[in-house]
């Protein structure tokens, strides 16, 4: 049994590569930060790969080393939960291009200097290829399941399309098979906020540690609005004032929602790199699974034996149910086995991260049916 099978193990592995990227570049070596939970069984059949979203990381069920907060998906991963280390060997890796241990713009180039904006532009498929290298390193041939929400769901779809013989089950939550024009627009606003910050300096800010935190905070604020629902915002904040009885007639955070968004922006810059935000949002914008397969989404899943579970939320306007239905229709056209459910939640896109008990029941039932 490999050392990698020990419970709660976190490490970074340097794989020699080279990793051929969609943009034409080749990356070598490839650093991948990851965590594992549980034990790989004798025949290697119980491995589940969890794919994280845009600003997530590999600390899926362990205390975050920077924030001190619990892992981002402890509602789904843990003892007695749908993805359980008592039953599964759980893997979660930090995506290529990120800033939390895997190769990205803050990594050192062969000359020893940070890549910054000289890091090659990456795609969702590049992220998945890097994950496949890690799975190979761990000695795993076929994954029991690949599971993810939002950008993580994009990776799940890419896994099923690129490595169909290695994925027995795929769980795609609050996601889509391509990034819409609206979502590209929101990302561009965030990127421009970062690049307009005088501290960005073309991405070369690592030497003095003076990062474009103001621009990154604004990018996070704009993005965070898209993760919520109008009903949720109204219920939680409405037009209530923040720690005051009357309007200030100035530009302080008069309203609770303003204070909340400012807090989200300020806390985000402590754990994330601005250049990584540029690279990962661009990877999401480039994602179009149909385009990768001759313009017809069903071609991505032709002949697949993978079981699919598609989940959407009724208040998610970032990745609305129509996006999931488009994937389901393509899977039906390809003759794939697919289950689909739209869940009700007031939380908008963020529902997959929050307390939605029905989501746990859906994922648990689907995974157990495939074991």
- In the chain the domains, ranked by start, together with CATH numbers, are 3-179+290-369 (3.40.50.1820), 182-281 (1.10.1740.110)
Rounded CA-CA distance 192/186 in Å is 10
Position 1 pLDDT exceeds 50: no
Short-list 336, 275, 325, 329, CA closest to 302: 336
Rounded CA-CA distance 361/185 in Å is 35
Q: Is 355 annotated as a binding residue?
A: no
pLDDT on residue 8: 63
More confident residue, 219 or 236: 219
Position 209 pLDDT exceeds 80: yes
Mean pLDDT, rounded, for 54-63: 94
Lowest mean pLDDT among 10-14, 211-215, 274-278, 295-299: 10-14
Position 2 pLDDT exceeds 70: no
pLDDT by residue (tens digit) across 85-120? Answer: 999 999 999 999 999 999 999 999 999 999 999 999
Q: Across-strand partners of 9?
A: 36
Instruction: Please report, rounded to a whole number, the percentage of residues in the chain having pLDDT higher than 70.
Output: 98
Within 10 angstroms of residue 294's Cβ, the number of other Cβ atoms is: 10
Assess whether 150 carries a catalytic annotation: yes
pLDDT by residue (tens digit) across 123-154? Answer: 999 999 999 999 999 999 999 999 999 999 99
Short-list 287, 50, 32, CA closest to 152: 50
Within 10 angstroms of residue 13's Cβ, the number of other Cβ atoms is: 18
Q: What is the residue whose two structure tokens read 């606003």?
A: 189
Strands 337-343 and 307-313: parallel
Mean pLDDT, rounded, for 151-180: 98
Q: In this structure, what are the phi and psi dihedrals at residue 359, rounded to the nearest 5 degrees?
A: -60, -45
Rounded CA-CA distance 152/53 in Å is 5
Mean pLDDT, rounded, for 171-198: 98
pTM of the model: 0.95
150, 169, 312, 345: the active-site residue:
150
Return the HEC string of 291-321.
Answer: HHCCCCHHHHHCCCCCEEEEEEECCCCCCCH
58, 59, 187, 349: the active-site residue:
349
Mean pLDDT, rounded, for 57-74: 93
Mean pLDDT, rounded, for 20-41: 96
Element (H, E) at 10: strand 9-15
Element (H, E) at 139: none
Rounded CA-CA distance 199/213 in Å is 8
Q: At what angle do helices 274-286 and 124-137 cross, to 10 degrees?
A: 100
Q: Is 220 annotated as a binding residue?
A: yes
pLDDT on residue 277: 98
126, 285, 316, 324: the active-site residue:
316
């Amino acid at each position: 049994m490999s050392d990698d099978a020990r419970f709660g193990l976190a490490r970074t592995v340097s794989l020699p590569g080279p990793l051929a990227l969609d943009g034409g570049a080749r990356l070598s070596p490839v650093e991948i930060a990851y965590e594992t939970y549980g034990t790989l069984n004798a025949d290697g059949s119980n491995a589940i790969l969890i794919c994280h979203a845009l600003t997530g990381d590999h600390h899926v069920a362990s205390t975050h080393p920077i924030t001190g907060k619990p892992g981002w998906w402890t509602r789904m991963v843990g003892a007695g939960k749908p993805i359980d280390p008592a039953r599964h060997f759980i893997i979660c890796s930090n995506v290529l291009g990120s800033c939390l241990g895997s190769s990205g713009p803050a990594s050192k180039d062969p000359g020893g200097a940070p890549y910054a904006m000289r890091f090659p532009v990456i795609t969702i498929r590049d992220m998945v290829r890097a994950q496949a290298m890690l799975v190979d390193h761990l000695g795993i041939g076929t994954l029991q399941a690949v599971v993810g929400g939002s950008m993580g769901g994009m990776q799940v779809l890419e896994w099923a399309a690129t490595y169909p013989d290695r994925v027995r089950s795929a769980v795609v939550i609050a996601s889509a098979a391509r990034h819409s024009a609206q979502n590209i627009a929101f990302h561009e606003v965030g990127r421009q906020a970062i690049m307009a910050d005088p501290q960005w300096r073309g991405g070369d800010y690592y030497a003095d540690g003076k990062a474009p935190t103001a621009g990154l905070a604004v990018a996070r604020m704009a993005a965070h609005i898209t993760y919520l629902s109008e009903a949720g915002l109204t219920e939680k904040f409405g037009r209530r004032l923040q720690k005051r009885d009357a309007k200030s007639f100035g530009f302080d955070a008069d309203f609770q929602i303003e204070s909340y968004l400012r807090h989200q922006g300020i806390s985000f810059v402590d754990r994330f790199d601005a250049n990584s935000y540029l690279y990962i949002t661009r990877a999401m914008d480039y994602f179009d699974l149909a385009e990768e397969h001759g313009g017809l989404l069903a071609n991505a899943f032709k002949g697949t034996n993978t079981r699919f579970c598609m989940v959407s939320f009724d208040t998610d306007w970032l990745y609305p149910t129509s996006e999931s239905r488009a994937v389901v229709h393509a899977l039906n056209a390809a003759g794939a086995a697919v289950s689909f459910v739209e869940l009700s939640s007031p939380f908008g896109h963020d529902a997959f991260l929050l307390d939605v008990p029905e989501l746990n029941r859906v994922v648990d039932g689907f995974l157990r049916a495939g074991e």
